Amino acid sequence: MYSSPAATDSQFPLNDTQEWQALAKRVGWDTEYYQMDPGALDGSFKFSVTANLRIGSPYTNKSIMIRGVPPADCCALLIPMTPGDNGIFQGQAFGRGQAAIMCPGHESCYRTSTPNRFISVSIPVERLRSVVEQSTEHSLEPLLMENRIVPMEAQALPQLQRWLQQVITGHAGTGGAMHSATELAEIEQHIVGALALALTERPDDTPRRVAQRRQVFLHARDYIDNHLETPLGLEAIARETQVSLRTLRYSFQQMAGLNPLQYIKLRRLSAVRRLLREGDPAQLSVTAVAMRCGFNHMSYFARDYRAMYGELPGQTLNNLKRGR
């Protein structure tokens, strides 16, 4: 999927809105920026470009008015990152757990809070179409008629913020190394899947029978268990099970009490622990085992492992070496 194994990342200090405008153009945006608060402007602009995503993360100490259009043939998702007040988009104040959709060729207007930080991610329409029309049972065009604020699931927005933060800060899987192609592919699937769900968020008017959802869950479970080392975004699992993203989510919630991404994490953690406990301690490497099970970010992995099992993975391995 990716032409190179890593994203292209840059960070610039900013002291003038014209500098913002010039940098935004570097990632394809047609925008205008206006400082709304008096005083010296101080901020920064980070951006990361992968094969399919263009991600920008501006920060300023002043309120900014932004008018702009996404890159050609792209739609965009705007995610506020400042706690509390997140400004006004298209005349509507951002509420908790909300993001904004920006459609191709449609100008949007966003007045930020003070201070402010947000992340925007633009995605080619054709890349999004492959997910929406294959995995959500919707046609894409009617969903891209207007810019708007959209609600997101309680856990979806924090997860999306974390994935975007991983890309924009360059935090990769092993000791600060560049993102691997596998890690980027999985993060991209997460981001595109989250955008597809945000675009199509509606009540579940026609719930499937328990037996049908059980079959979806079992199929997805087996696929996950056999592909832990591969990118496992919602997109890939929905494609494998041939159901919509929403049906996939409801099936996991009903059968396991978890969303698919929570289930994937638990299965990967369980697989690591099993391999650490059953393998030959003299020949095991925690990093190698974790990557074999699909973990690419070692600090997040160690944190989640300890939260689940009450000890670090290295302690599990050392206990085995001591013959516990």
Q: What is the mean pLDDT of residues 94-103?
A: 88
Does the residue 197 lie in any domain? no
Does the residue 198 lie in any domain? no
Q: What is the mean pLDDT of residues 308-320?
A: 82
Q: Are residue 181 and residue 67 in the same domain, yes or no? A: yes
Binned at pLDDT 50, 70 and 90, residue 205 comes out as very low
69-98: per-residue pLDDT in tens?
A: 999 899 999 988 887 788 889 888 888 888
Does the residue 106 lie in any domain? yes
Do 238 and 244 contact (CB within 8 A), yes or no? yes
Q: Are residue 31 and residue 171 in the same domain, yes or no? A: yes
Does the residue 194 lie in any domain? no
H, E, C per residue of the chain: CCCCCCCEEEEEEECCHHHHHHHHHHCCCEEEEEECCCCCCCEEEEEEECCCCEEEEEEECCCEEEEEECCCCEEEEEEECCCCCCCEECCEECCCCEEEEECCCCCEEEECCCCEEEEEEEEEHHHHHHHHHHHCCCCCHHHHCCCEEEECCCCHHHHHHHHHHHHHHCCCCCCCCCCCHHHHHHHHHHHHHHHHHHHHCCCCCCCCCHHHHHHHHHHHHHHHHHCCCCCCCHHHHHHHHCCCHHHHHHHHHHHHCCCHHHHHHHHHHHHHHHHHHHCCHHHCCHHHHHHHCCCCCHHHHHHHHHHHHCCCHHHHHHHHHCCC
Q: Select, from the ranges 79-83, 153-157, 200-204, 286-290, the one with the highest average predicted confidence (pLDDT).
A: 286-290
Residue 100 exposure: Cα atoms within 13 Å on the Cβ side: 29
Q: Are residue 308 and residue 184 in the same domain, yes or no? A: no
User: Which of 234, 257, 280 is the endpoint of a domain?
Assistant: 257
Number of domains in the chain: 3
Range of the domain at 314: 263-321
Q: Are residue 183 and residue 217 in the same domain, yes or no? A: no
Q: Are residue 243 and residue 273 in the same domain, yes or no? A: no
Q: Are residue 212 and residue 163 in the same domain, yes or no? A: no
169-197: per-residue pLDDT in tens?
A: 764 444 444 567 787 888 888 888 888 88
Does the residue 193 lie in any domain? no
Does the residue 196 lie in any domain? no
CATH code assigned at 75: 2.60.120.10
pTM assigned to the model: 0.65
Q: Are residue 160 and residue 19 in the same domain, yes or no? A: yes
User: Which of 138, 164, 188 is the endpoint of a domain?
Assistant: 188
CATH code assigned at 302: 1.10.10.60
pLDDT > 90 in the chain, percent: 16
**The pLDDT of residue 293:** 92
